[in-house]
Chains A and B, each alone.
Chain A
Amino acid sequence: MNYKGDIYYIEQILAGNSNSFSYVVERHKNKAYNLAFRICGNHEEAEEIAQDSFLKAYRSLKSFKMKSSFATWLYRIVYNTAISHVRIKKKRVLSLEDFPADATDFIGNNTSEEEAEKEYMSSVVNFALQKITEEERGLISLYYYEEMNTEEISDVTGISKSNIKVKLFRARQKMLEIIEKVEMKKFIYYE
């Protein structure tokens, strides 16, 4: 399908053609879902958050100023929805024991060793993400997964650029410490 650009479809929706919103959802669903998943760490909740965010975006489409990018505006909604969702839920704090020490747990029937290693790495990162605060998770996701710069992150989160740098520095350090501990546990397990 040839996507005509967000603004084209938004104008269609505002003119009364609500079905045009399906093109917008189709275009942005994966990124919205990914951000929600990285912040809440759960597939069911991520879907709920992403759906809720698209509905909020649809309802307040009239307030969208077409000067900024629609993606940034939508990310702001997803980010805020996910952060409030997690704050309400107040999840159980994970301990290191919750992470499987055996990397073979990530090897399926048809997965190669390389794929299993990638799976393992991804799970380590997800585990580490769940050990930092929801705000830090959001910043790490926007910076590393969405590859946004600090200015774009500032537009999404409303946090100042200098504050983002400080928070990212702390979040990185925390994550690396957790990853190190997980790796150490794996090392001890195989010894």
Chain B
Amino acid sequence: MNNQEKYNDDLLRKYISPEKIEKAPEGFTSRVMTHIQIETIPSAGTGGSKKKNLVPVISAVVTILLIAAAFLIPGSESDSLTSEVLDLIKSTKFSLPEIDLSSIFRLNLPSVLIYVFIGILLLTAFDRALYEIFHREK
């Protein structure tokens, strides 16, 4: 410190007294601790959010499995596993209902639309079911 600095330093020390510190207001500690208690309680909610984060993971896994299945299961020739699966599907005798839209609405709509509507309804129900499972904590 040169003379000028020393002089300025001494002069400023005349004004600033370290003992004159501003004290934290009453109840400061309890207010901080309240915030901390609030932060530590919702740790159960973290599990919920982790569960919610599983949705895209499950979707991705299912999609990958379906794509892999599409590549791995041969279209024409069938091995034992494929034929068993196909036989199982056939044995359910599942078929989409044949509804003549034009007779209901008197409109000449392509018949595929009914399957689209049914698909939308099924997906909505599926989405609702998933929502109920993953938002139960709320």
Q: Hey, which bits of chain A sit against chain B, CB under 8 A? A: 18-19, 21-22, 25-26, 29-34, 37-38, 43, 46-47, 50-51, 54-55, 58-59, 118, 121-122, 124-125, 140, 144-147, 169, 172-173, 175-176, 179
Contacts and interface: CB of A to CB of B under 8 A. Distances in A.
Interface in B1-52: 5, 8-9, 11-13, 15-18, 20-25, 28-33, 35-37, 39-40
Contact of A33 (B15, B28, B40): B28
Contacts of A50: 24, 28
Name the prevailing secondary structure of the B interface residues.
helix
Interface of B: 5, 8-9, 11-13, 15-18, 20-25, 28-33, 35-37, 39-40
25 contacts: A19-B33, A21-B32, A21-B36, A22-B30, A25-B32, A25-B33, A30-B21, A32-B24, A34-B21, A43-B22, A46-B22, A51-B28, A51-B31, A51-B35, A55-B39, A58-B36, A118-B17, A118-B20, A124-B15, A144-B16, A144-B18, A169-B5, A169-B8, A172-B8, A172-B12
A40 to B, nearest CB: 11
Name the prevailing secondary structure of the A interface residues.
helix
Given A30-B21, A32-B24, A21 B11 contact: no
Contacts, number: 86
B40 A31 contact: no
Contacts of B35: 51, 55
Given A33-B28, A51-B28, A21 B33 contact: yes
Contacts of B36: 18, 21, 55, 58
B16 to A, nearest CB: 4
Contact of B40 (A18, A25, A125, A169): A18
